[in-house]
Amino acid sequence: MKRVISLLLAALMLTGVITAPPAAKAAGKKLIAITYDDGPGPYTDSLLDGLKARGVKATFFMLGNRVASYSSTVARMYREGHQLANHSYDHSNLANLSESGVRSQIQSTNRLLDKTCGSGTDYMVRAPYGSMNSNVSRGAGAPLIFWSVDPQDWLYRNAETVKNNIIRNAHDGAIILVHDIHSTSIPGSLAAIDYLKRQGYEFVTVRELFRRRGQSMKNGVQYSSCRSTGSDAGPVEAPIITGETENGRLRVTIKAQPGAAIYYTTGSGGLNQNSARYTGSFLTDYPCRLQAVAAYNMNGSRSETVTETFTMPKAKQPDIIVSEGILTIECAASDTEIHYTLTGAQDSGGWQLYTGEMPIEPGTEITAYSSCRGHLDSEQVRASFSERGTFFRDVFPGQWYYDAMDRAAAEGCMSGSGSGIFAPAKNITRGDLVTLLYRYSGESIEEGADLPIPFDDIAPGKYYAEPVAWAHNNGLVSGCGDGLFHPGRGVSRQEMAVIFYNFLNYRQLIPDDAGTGSWSYADEDKISSWAKEAVGFMSYAGLLQGNGKNEFQPLGNTTRAQAAAVLMRLEDYIGSINGQS
């Protein structure tokens, strides 16, 4: 039965007979505005420090005759997002003045505040002593702000009393009146702020208090608080600045929440009412530091300032290719000029404009970069066409392994990845080390010999399958003890020594007196017992060397450059033995 009823209700709701209750509206936060009168004064900067530390925006009703003496304080107040407001020029009782007298008091102060905020800024007014009449109302030309919480801080010059008087009377939507010309009012009001924040209050400027609650304010009308309407428009979100390159310049786009104006500058100063108004994306030049703020009103109703720096992007790097003695330099980006030298100098003034492929001689070093309008020059790219005719993109003359890598490549023992990349610093794999030796050996497995490969992880079609079969069959390598060869694993330096030593043994090139030569490394006690004989012979025969600290680092990985260097020393060693015989 229950089920039938709920189905019936659902059907009624669908047909609109009964509507679902509206989703509860976001109740909104408890908002409260704290205001400071009669300044600025000698304590205002320490107050600003305290407000900044708490992320609190306040409203300052200031006297014109004090503003000029504290111009840097006023500028800071504005920069930090507080609302600047007018408390007459000299604290006259405005109710005693004519309408034009009131206007003069208000406008002279507005003009002084304009020096910071920019002309055209709106300033709310608080009449001294709260003294009101129709002349004040008309002459102010602005909303008149009263208060609903008065701690009488001018009377009780005691921070604790000020604090307690504020928190005792605080309420949602309140406007709190304090005077920043009394030293005790600074710690008293800050302590009250801390307490009320813990109670869930959010401190906002007077202008934000009314905007967020959807209340419009009228000139000449008194406001002393802003009760909750149950809705909260929320704070002003910071704008989002994006930029992209367009014909060598920067196109800037700035987005903000609906209804908020965007003010921006590409200059070094701050933003105010007279800053440029964003009306749509625009072009500017690199490099560019851009500041922007979203605002419903620049004076007291704006976001944090956002800064973005845009630097010109770099042109795409060119690719150098040498194939059969022909040099080609390409760049994937269009409208790009390529500059090159064949002298090997990277900072040479002798750059030439690349116009097309050209033959080059072995022993040529090539350097190139791209340039493109609206871009910084690309990073330089180097390549080497070696004396032995190998094209290298990552091995260069002057590197300790250059000659060994070049020889190993020229002799077909070591090959690059097809595009001149030899990865000298990369660890050599077990598969590659065995392939290196196999190629060096000049041996080949006779067709149909069908050497057994006793490892499950060596597929017959792999480039290292034949080398592994050869090496295993001739006692150069064994598996890893788990029935597998692990061709992709690295090779420690002592393992490398053993494999090369086994090769010499296989070729019967170990002299009878091997083991009598002397060798020593600072870390020789780290060499495993099974590797000592190999490391020892290879070292005193000059095939292995320690590092600058005379360490062998037996457990360190063998790089491709180290493997090539040892192989070439081995070749020289074998050559010298054969020469003697």
Contact 498, 528 (CB under 8 A): no
Q: Cβ contacts of residue 473 below 8 Å, gap of 6+?
A: 451, 452
Answer whether 108's CB lies under 8 Å from 89's CB.
yes
Catalytic residue among 82, 87, 179, 182: 179
As measured in angstroms, the least distance from the Cβ of 87 to Zn ion is: 6
Name the minimum Å distance from CB 224 to Zn ion: 15
In the annotation, is 82 catalytic? no
Q: Which is nearer to Zn ion, 125 or 535 (CB)?
A: 125
39, containing H or E segment: strand 30-39
Q: 141: which residues sit within 8 A by CB, 6+ positions away?
A: 103, 106, 107, 125, 219, 220
Residue 66 vs 163, nearer CB to Zn ion: 66
* Sign, Cα dihedral of 529, 531, 533, 539: negative
Indicate the length of the chain as a whole number: 581
**CA-derived radius of gyration, the chain:** 41
Report d(CA 106, CA 110) in Å as an integer.
6
Minimum separation from the CB atom of position 247 to Zn ion (A): 57
Cβ-in-10-Å burial (0-12, 13-18, 19+) of 497 comes to buried
DSSP letter for 40, please.
Answer: -
List the structure tokens of 515. 């083991």
CB-wise, 189 or 553, nearer to Zn ion?
189
DSSP line for 274-289: TSEEP-S-EEEPSSEE
DSSP secondary structure code for residue 557 in this structure: B
Shortest CB 309 distance to Zn ion, Å = 43
* Shortest separation between residue 86's beta carbon and Zn ion, angstroms: 11
Nearer to Zn ion, 128 or 143 (CB): 128
Nearest CB to Zn ion, comparing residues 81 and 128: 128
Closer of 38 and 406 to Zn ion (Cβ): 38
Query: Where are the alpha helices (H) located in 55-176, listed in sequence order?
Result: 64-67, 71-79, 99-117, 134-140, 159-169
Does the active-site annotation cover 182?
Answer: no
Q: List residues binding Zn ion (CB under 5 A).
A: 37-38, 128
CB-nearer residue toward Zn ion: 178 or 453: 178
Instruction: List Cβ neighbours of 288 (8 Å cut-off, separation of 6 or more).
Output: 243, 250, 252, 266, 309, 310
Q: Least distance from C-beta 131 to Zn ion, angstroms?
A: 10
Q: What is the C-alpha to C-alpha distance for residues 303 and 287, in angstroms, rounded to an integer? A: 25
Q: Least distance to Zn ion from the beta carbon of 187, Å?
A: 20
DSSP 95: G
Q: From the CB of 90, what's the least distance to Zn ion, in Å? A: 11
The set of residues, in sequence order, having a beta carbon less than 8 Å from that of 229 and lying 6+ positions away, is 213, 214, 215
Residue 46 neighbours by CB distance under 10 Å: 14
The residue among 37 and 394 lying less far from Zn ion, judged by its C-beta, is 37
Active-site residue numbers?
Answer: 37, 179
